């Protein structure tokens, strides 16, 4: 296991850049260059939620702000207990971090090594893959199945071949918006090779409508060798507040919690607890609103015989029928910024589901470029 200090020492100057990865990732990799930014640009590139911060969270954060000159450390035990309780977990099974980025970082840092690979699919969320590579740990990328789902048999086979590793599954997957079904997860958990942990990133799970989509949290509750990460950045619309958590065995949490940089901000923490107090309504209403807009986009594409991957998250991949890189690069000048290209899905454009108004503009610009 590698501490953050050891990690920084090993990477030297490179470490400083790596620590900044999330900020740099969004700024540098966006399909849009600063010079091309229109003032009224419709941003559909980062899977943010236009519903924004829930009112109840905003009120709690406003109320907390004047007292944020104190550390408030003594309050965090109860705050973390509230987060744990929201998912029927014991507080010892939960580690809260600055977004799920921080807890994913710790999982990859601690559960991969020069002889223990990160094993995942391509394409998937790049944070874990890039961290493993930067650490000099092997990364095994497997191909998606024809229906864009993860090939769980291959993932398990690769873990066996490596005599153990960290299998990372993003469910629903970013960028495809496709899912790993409950039966595939069940099979994988039952067949994990020795020395292998399954890391399931559920950043977008609340947006899914498929009856085959199911959280991996029950495996954590059952004490299986599974870690689940969740975030308040997506359906809760609190990306800038930076709160996420990992659910895992108490042993793992006890070992990993000291590797966090620090506690999250008291303002964010109070906002999250307030949002959880209205959790059922927030999740139901936001999922319903996003799903309706997503269904409209799917119907519009179907009418025009444009292919897409059946979406289960708040973004979707559209087959533009040619290399998408140039297609994507044309859109910002017309006022819409979609996601960057995601090789090896070279013909696919990823778009975040925004407001109805934003999606109307997206359709307009998309169609102009598509027809050109």
- Contact residues: ligand PLP, CB under 6 A: 47, 99-101, 125, 170, 174, 201, 203, 231, 233, 239, 244
Burial class from Cβ neighbours inside 10 Å (0-12, 13-18, 19+) for residue 362 reads buried
Which is nearer to ligand PLP, 23 or 40 (by Cβ)? 23
Question: Rounded to an integer, what distance in angstroms lies between the CA atom of residue 165 and that of residue 155?
Answer: 10
Strand partners, 119: 140, 167
For ligand PLP, the closer of residues 47 and 215 by Cβ is 47
Rounded to a whole number of angstroms, the minimum distance from the CB of residue 315 to ligand PLP is 9
- The answer to whether the CB of 121 falls within 8 A of the CB of 173 is yes
Rg of the chain on CA atoms, in Å: 20
CA 260 to the chain's CA centroid: 19
CB 66 to ligand PLP: min, Å: 26
Of 21 and 306, CB closest to ligand PLP? 21
Smallest distance, Å, CB 205 to ligand PLP?
Answer: 10
Which CB, 196 or 231, lies closer to ligand PLP? 231
Closer residue to ligand PLP in complex, CB, 113/173: 173
List of residues 6+ apart from 322 with CB closer than 8 A: 347
Q: How far apart are CA 194 and CA 74, in angstroms?
A: 39
Q: How far is the CB of 47 from ligand PLP (least distance, A)?
A: 5
Cβ 368 to ligand PLP shortest distance, Å:
28
Residue nearest to ligand PLP (CB): 99
Minimum separation from the CB atom of position 202 to ligand PLP (A): 9
Q: How far is the CB of 217 from ligand PLP (least distance, A)?
A: 16
In contact, 96 and 229? CB cutoff 8 Å: no
Instruction: Please identify, using beta-carbon distances, which residue of 64 and 174 lies nearer to ligand PLP.
Output: 174
CA dist 291 → 124, 209, 233, 266 (Å): 22, 8, 18, 32
Nearest to ligand PLP of 127, 165 (CB atom) = 127
């Amino acid at each position: 296991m590698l501490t953050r200090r050891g990690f920084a020492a090993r990477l030297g100057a490179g470490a400083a850049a790596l620590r900044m990865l999330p900020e740099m990732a969004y700024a540098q990799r966006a399909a849009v260059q600063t010079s091309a930014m229109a003032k009224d640009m419709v941003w559909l590139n980062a899977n943010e939620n236009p519903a924004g911060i829930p009112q109840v969270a905003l009120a709690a954060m406003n109320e907390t702000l004047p007292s944020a000159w104190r550390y408030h450390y003594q309050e965090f035990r109860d705050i973390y207990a509230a987060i744990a309780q929201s998912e029927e977990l014991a507080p010892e099974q939960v580690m809260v971090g600055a977004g799920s980025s921080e807890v994913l970082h710790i999982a990859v840092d601690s559960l991969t090594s020069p002889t223990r690979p990160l094993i995942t699919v391509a394409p998937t969320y790049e944070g874990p893959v890039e961290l493993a590579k930067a650490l000099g740990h092997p990364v095994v990328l497997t191909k998606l199945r024809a229906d864009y789902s993860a090939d769980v048999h291959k993932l398990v086979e690769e873990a066996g071949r490596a005599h153990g590793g960290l299998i990372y599954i993003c469910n629903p997957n970013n960028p495809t918006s496709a899912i790993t079904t409950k039966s595939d997860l069940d099979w994988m958990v039952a067949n994990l090779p020795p020395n292998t942990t399954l890391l399931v990133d559920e950043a977008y799970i609340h947006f899914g409508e498929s009856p085959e989509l199911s959280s991996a949290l029950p495996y954590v509750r059952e004490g299986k060798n599974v870690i689940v990460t969740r975030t308040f950045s997506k359906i809760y619309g609190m990306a800038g507040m930076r709160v996420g958590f990992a659910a895992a065995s108490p042993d793992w949490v006890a070992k990993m919690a000291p590797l966090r940089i620090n506690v999250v901000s008291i303002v964010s923490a109070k906002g999250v607890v307030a949002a959880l107090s209205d959790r059922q309504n927030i999740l139901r209403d936001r999922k319903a609103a996003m799903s309706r807009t997503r269904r409209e986009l799917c119907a519009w594409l179907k009418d025009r015989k444009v292919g897409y991957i059946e979406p289960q998250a708040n973004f979707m991949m559209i087959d533009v029928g040619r290399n998408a890189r140039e297609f994507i690069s044309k859109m910002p000048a017309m006022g819409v910024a979609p996601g960057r290209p995601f090789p090896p899905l070279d013909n696919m454009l990823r778009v975040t589901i925004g407001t109805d108004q934003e999606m109307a503009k997206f359709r307009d610009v998309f169609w102009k470029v598509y027809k050109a």
